[in-house]
Amino acid sequence: MKKLYLLLIAALLLVGILAGCVAENSGSSDSEGEAEAGGAEGESAGGEEGLDIAVVPKLVGIPYFNASESGANEAGEDLEGVNVNYTGPTQADASAQVKVIEDLISKNVDVIAVAPNDPASVEPVLKKAKESGIHVMDWDTPADKELVDLSVKQVDDEEFGRHMAQKLVEAMGTEEGEIAILTGGLSAANLNLWIEAAQKEFDENYPGIEIVSEKIPTDEKQQVAYQKTLDLLKSYPDLKGVLAVSTPAPLGAAQAVQEEGLQDEVSVVGSALPTDSAPFLEDGSLDTAVLWDPGKLGYLTVALGQMLAEGEMPEDGQEIEGVGEITVKEDGKTVIMGPPADFTKENAADFDF
């Protein structure tokens, strides 16, 4: 038996070493071949009718990304010669998302717009997409700047974070007291930027506000946010406000506040969709939901994807039909859709997402 083990280990090492040297000198020749093949196929795909624009969300099946899906599909109908392919993983797992993108490369689409779960992990696959002649852009959450041809952002992060902070202070009706911050996930880049901006706003303009603990992750789940908020209400009986970032989090927080009957004592402000938050806005358990229109974001992504594939670049102040005036940052490829929108008890019923 010992001999067998030894033999196995020896074989393993040998193959390992062989693999090590062979892989390195074959990598370049193969990527050339691939690039050629990709170019050729790209042409043939171009010969077919219409542009294939793939929009990849962080995950499918949550209200936010469902809303952007309908926006993207609407753009596909409005714009001539555009086929929209909206597909993403069912879990917010970076590796599952990479597989979706790889399959899209096999499908030979013309544009891939991705909202990365983890910007670093989509880097290799986006490189691969570029090598096979696909236009690469990001939306919702930025990917590596060097790799994308265009970056579509919903709002200015700084402005959005500060805006949420102001809304929370407004809802609390006092500039002093304890608050807590809930977030979707600790590594979501955009959520972190908003929280940083909000913290800056508190530090600079509302020194009486005390944040009771580190930002609390809720796994992008309403249920988890609900649980964590219940815990918070128990551990900090003087809590005045909850800032909940990521779309399910404010709902869970509001649910907890509603159940405990603390609508008047604890203010909740966060980023949520108006239809979801309507029942909580109604009785004041959620004070203000701040967001943008994800449908418009999906629409804008597809519209810009078409421009990109046709060789145009958006300009600052350009009017996009169905979306409005956009802002383009100095780098020429970061597009900002517009200012944040507030949803309150009064206006939440007017929106259908």
Partner 1 sequence: MKLSKESILGLIALGTFLLLALIAPGFLSSNNITSMMFQLPEFGLIALAMMVVIVTGGIDLSITYIAALSGVGAALMLTNGYGMLPAIIVAILFALACGAFNGFVISKIGVSPILVTLGTMVLFEGIILAITKGNSISGFSDGYSLIGNGYYLGLVPLSIVIFVLFAIITAILLSKTSWGRSVYMYGSNETATLFSGVKNSRVLMKVYLYASLLAAISAIIMTSRYNSVKVDLGSSYLLQSVAAAVLGGTNIHGGYGKVIGTVYAVMIFQFIRNGLNLLGFHSSLVDVVIGAILILVLAMNFFSDKFKKAAETRKAEKAA
Give contact residues for partner 1 (rule: CB under 8 A).
1, 4, 8, 12, 15, 19, 22-24, 26-27, 29-30, 34, 37-38, 41, 60-61, 85, 87-96, 98-100, 102-108, 118-124, 132, 185-187, 217
Alpha carbon 244 to its chain's center: 16
Residue 300 contacts residue 337 (beta carbons within 8 Å):
yes
CB-wise, 24 or 330, nearer to partner 1? 24
Q: Measured from the CB of residue 295, what is the shortest distance to partner 1 in angstroms?
A: 18
CB-wise, 82 or 105, nearer to partner 1? 105
CB-wise, 192 or 318, nearer to partner 1? 192
Q: 210 Cβ partners below 8 Å, 6+ apart?
A: 177, 178, 179
Q: Measured from the CB of residue 349, what is the shortest distance to partner 1 in angstroms?
A: 29
CB-wise, 16 or 311, nearer to partner 1? 16
Q: What is the C-alpha radius of gyration for the chain, rounded to an integer number of angstroms?
A: 24
Q: Measured from the CB of residue 192, what is the shortest distance to partner 1 in angstroms?
A: 8
Q: Measured from the CB of residue 32, what is the shortest distance to partner 1 in angstroms?
A: 11
Query: What is the Cα–Cα distance from 203 to 205, expressed in whole angstroms?
Result: 6
CB-wise, 108 or 327, nearer to partner 1? 108
Alpha carbon 9 to its chain's center: 45
Query: What is the Cα–Cα distance from 252 to 272, expressed in whole angstroms?
Result: 11
Q: What is the DSSP string of 140-164?
A: SS---TTT-SEEEESS-HHHHHHHH
Angle among Cα 68, 73, 77 to the nearest 5 degrees reads 145
Query: What is the Cα–Cα distance from 51 to 254, expressed in whole angstroms?
Result: 43
Which H helix or E strand runs over 275?
Answer: helix 274-282
Residue showing tokens 């956009």: 326
Helix (H, G, I), strand (E, B), or coil: what is residue 151? Answer: strand
Question: Residue 135 is encoded by which pair of tokens?
Answer: 């236009």
Question: Residue 191 is encoded by which pair of tokens?
Answer: 């959520």
Query: What is the Cα–Cα distance from 131 to 129, expressed in whole angstroms?
Result: 5
Q: Measured from the CB of residue 123, what is the shortest distance to partner 1 in angstroms?
A: 5
CB-wise, 84 or 164, nearer to partner 1? 84
Q: Measured from the CB of residue 111, what is the shortest distance to partner 1 in angstroms?
A: 15
Angle, in degrees to the nearest 10, between helices 157-172 and 189-205? 50
CB-wise, 183 or 222, nearer to partner 1? 183
CB-wise, 116 or 314, nearer to partner 1? 116
Residue showing tokens 């979501």: 188
Instruction: Give residue 30's identity as a one-letter amino acid code.
Output: D
Q: Measured from the CB of residue 68, what is the shortest distance to partner 1 in angstroms?
A: 14
Q: Measured from the CB of residue 6, what is the shortest distance to partner 1 in angstroms?
A: 13
Instruction: Give residue 255's identity as a one-letter amino acid code.
Output: Q
Q: Measured from the CB of residue 3, what is the shortest distance to partner 1 in angstroms?
A: 12
CB-wise, 85 or 318, nearer to partner 1? 85
Q: 235 Cβ partners below 8 Å, 6+ apart?
A: none
